[in-house]
């Protein structure tokens, strides 16, 4: 009998973790972190009992709890894709730097984790401890996977975070999975529709063009991994004639992604975009380069996407008081985040003196989401190839999104569906 225990990411977004066990087999899917001071982690698991761990992608809500499992003598194998481990390393080290005193682990555990990592590409069946597993492209960010497991004759699909529409950076998710028994699906946008992607690109480009042609500078605060590169590709696609600068983690992540051509939609286009983009260096020249970037019309892409920190905040302080400039947000802004406050009230709070600073630059927000939306999630579920008695588990979404999605699957498709709570076992 296969048993699933939901350890985190239940009726919320953050700290995703699922344990799957059967007889003597025991595996873990993701082990993330819930942001906050202090950050929170999924329910405790014993690393020595694990055959292996699968990491769906590098984002903190899936990866940043993993080092906790490498602090002792047990060293379970971590299975993932090559870009995911490289990007996870970047994200986890950055998390350590930012939340030093709040994190219950240090670099040493991360190094131990990397030592025990084994990487695979897409679409190849692997047998590990008698469990068959295959990674498929999830279309979310480079290296992200949908995992198909076969354990004791049961076929289990874990979508991780996935996207069914094309982006400039990665191809859309694989969707063909025969004879499934259990499906664990993300529900982030189960209640929301995304605007048309191409229209969003065009609007964004037009607005950027207007600013730079008017001698302004556009700051695009963006998450360093994936969203920053997506914005670079969009601007390159529309043939922008002005310089594009990438700073901080956006720069480092761009170079890591470049090392993994097989996980990208169009490597040649990516390479040419990266050549066009100007990477702000890390060391002694960086101050000079930053001043140069802010001295003439162009675009600056810098983390963090919600203005909670990172180099974007430094640029914001310099660029905010000029009405010719633009601050264009391209990520979801969680309530109470500095980015949300800026959009709603037109000000930000200075890091140095904690004063409210009103922003004269033009403000806007664009939906470049890398998750499936309401319609796509529904289409995906409707088209699933399920065995009799199959069950669907809706996780990784706000309470309402998970429960409403579950209810709709139950009622309209007559499939047994659940929105598990933390520590529930099925």
Q: What residue ranges bind Zn ion (CB under 5 A)?
A: 59, 61, 161
Q: Which is nearer to Zn ion, 342 or 394 (CB)?
A: 394
Given a contact cutoff of 8 angstroms between Cβ atoms, the answer to whether 302 and 199 are in contact is no
Distance (Å, whole) CA 135 – CA 123? 6
Edge-to-edge strand ranges of the sheet holding 52-54 = 3-8, 17-22, 25-29, 52-54, 77-80, 117-119
Q: How far is the CB of 332 from Zn ion (least distance, A)?
A: 11
Of 35 and 218, which CB lies nearer to Zn ion in the complex structure?
A: 35
Q: How far is the CB of 318 from Zn ion (least distance, A)?
A: 30
Closer residue to Zn ion, CB minimum distance, 47 or 139: 139
Nearest distance, CB of residue 161 and Zn ion, angstroms: 4
DSSP string, 313-325: HHHHHHHTT-TT-
Between 245 and 374, name the residue whose CB sits nearer to Zn ion: 374
Nearer to Zn ion, 59 or 374 (CB): 59
Least CB distance from residue 322 to Zn ion, whole Å?
A: 34
Give the residue with the Cβ less far from Zn ion, 35 or 390.
35
Q: Least distance in Å: CB of 113 to Zn ion? A: 19
Q: Which residue shows structure tokens 């097989």?
A: 262
Which helix H or strand E contains 91, and what residues bound it? Answer: helix 82-98
Buried b (16+ CB within 10 A) or exposed e, 172-211: bbbeebeebbbbbbbbbbbbeebeebeebbeebbeebbeb
- C-alpha span between 93 and 104 (Å, rounded): 13
- The strand order across the sheet containing 326-329 reads 278-279, 244-246, 298-302, 217-221, 326-329, 362-365
Distance CA 279, CA 250 (A): 9
CA distances from 342 to 248, 327, 335, 347, 359 (A): 21, 10, 11, 5, 8
Instruction: Give the shortest CB-62-to-Zn ion separation in angstroms.
Output: 6
Q: Which is nearer to Zn ion, 311 or 331 (CB)?
A: 331
d(CA 74, CA 397) in angstroms, rounded, equals: 32
In this complex, which beta carbon is closest to Zn ion, that of residue 298 or of residue 397?
397
* C-alpha–C-alpha distance, residues 96 and 288, integer Å: 28
Residue with tokens 């969707």: 175
Compare residues 61 and 181 and give the one whose CB is closer to Zn ion: 61
- Helix%, strand%, coil% for the chain, nearest 5: 35, 25, 45
The distance of closest approach from Cβ of residue 15 to Zn ion in the complex, given in angstroms and rounded to an integer, is 10
Cβ proximity to Zn ion, 58 vs 151, nearer residue? 58
Q: What DSSP element (H or E) covers 137?
A: strand 131-137
Contact assessment for residue 32 and residue 8, using Cβ atoms and an 8 Å cutoff: yes
Helix (H) or strand (E) holding 380: helix 374-382
Residue 14 CB, nearest approach to Zn ion (Å): 8
Contact 237, 200 (CB under 8 A): no
Report, in Å, the least distance between residue 184 CB and Zn ion: 13
Decide whether 59 or 391 has the Cβ nearer to Zn ion.
59
Beta carbon of residue 376, minimum distance to Zn ion (angstroms, whole number):
16
To Zn ion, the closest distance from the beta carbon of 57 in angstroms equals 6
Beta-sheet strands, E only, within 334-402 = 347-349, 356-358, 362-365, 386-395
Q: Is residue 157 a contact partner of residue 180, using CB atoms and an 8 Å limit?
A: yes
């Amino acid at each position: 009998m296969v048993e699933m225990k939901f350890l985190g990411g239940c009726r919320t977004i953050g700290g995703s973790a699922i344990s799957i066990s059967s007889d003597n087999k025991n595996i873990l899917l993701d082990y993330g972190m819930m942001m906050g001071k202090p950050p929170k982690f999924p329910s405790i698991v014993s690393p020595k009992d694990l055959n292996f761990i699968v990491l769906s992608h590098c984002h903190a809500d899936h990866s940043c709890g993993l080092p906790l499992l490498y602090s002792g003598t047990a060293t379970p194998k971590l299975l993932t894709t090559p870009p995911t481990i490289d990007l996870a390393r970047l994200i986890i080290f950055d998390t350590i730097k930012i939340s030093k005193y709040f994190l219950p682990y240090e670099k040493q555990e991360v190094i131990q984790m990397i030592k025990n990592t084994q990487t695979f590409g897409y679409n190849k069946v692997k047998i590990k401890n008698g469990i068959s597993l295959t990674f498929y492209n999830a279309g979310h960010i480079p290296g992200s996977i949908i995992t198909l497991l076969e354990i004791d004759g049961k076929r289990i699909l874990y979508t991780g975070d996935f996207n069914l529409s094309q982006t400039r950076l990665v191809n859309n998710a694989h969707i063909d999975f025969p004879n499934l028994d259990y499906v664990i699906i993300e529900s982030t946008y189960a209640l929301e529709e995304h605007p048309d992607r191409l229209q969003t690109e065009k609007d964004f480009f037009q607005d950027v063009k207007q600013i730079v042609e008017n001698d302004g500078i556009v700051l695009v605060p963006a998450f360093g991994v994936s969203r920053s590169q997506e914005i670079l590709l969009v601007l390159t696609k529309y043939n922008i004639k002005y310089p594009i600068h990438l700073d901080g983690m956006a720069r480092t992540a761009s170079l890591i992604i470049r090392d993994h051509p097989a996980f990208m939609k169009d490597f040649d286009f990516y390479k040419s975009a990266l050549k066009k983009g100007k990477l702000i260096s890390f060391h002694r020249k960086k101050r000079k380069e930053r001043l140069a970037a802010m001295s003439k019309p162009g675009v600056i892409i810098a983390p963090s996407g919600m203005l909670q920190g990172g180099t974007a905040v430094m640029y914001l302080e310099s660029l905010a008081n000029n009405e010719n400039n633009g601050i264009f947000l391209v990520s979801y802004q969680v309530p109470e985040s500095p980015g949300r406050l800026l959009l709603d009230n037109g000000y930000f709070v200075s890091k140095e003196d904690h004063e409210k600073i009103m922003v004269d630059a033009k403000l806007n927000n664009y939906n470049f989401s890398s998750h499936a939306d309401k319609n796509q999630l529904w289409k995906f579920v409707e088209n699933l190839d399920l065995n009799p008695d199959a069950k669907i588990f809706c996780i990784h979404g706000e309470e309402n999104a998970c429960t409403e999605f579950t209810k709709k699957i139950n009622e309209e498709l007559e499939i047994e569906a659940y929105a598990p709570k933390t520590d529930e076992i099925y």
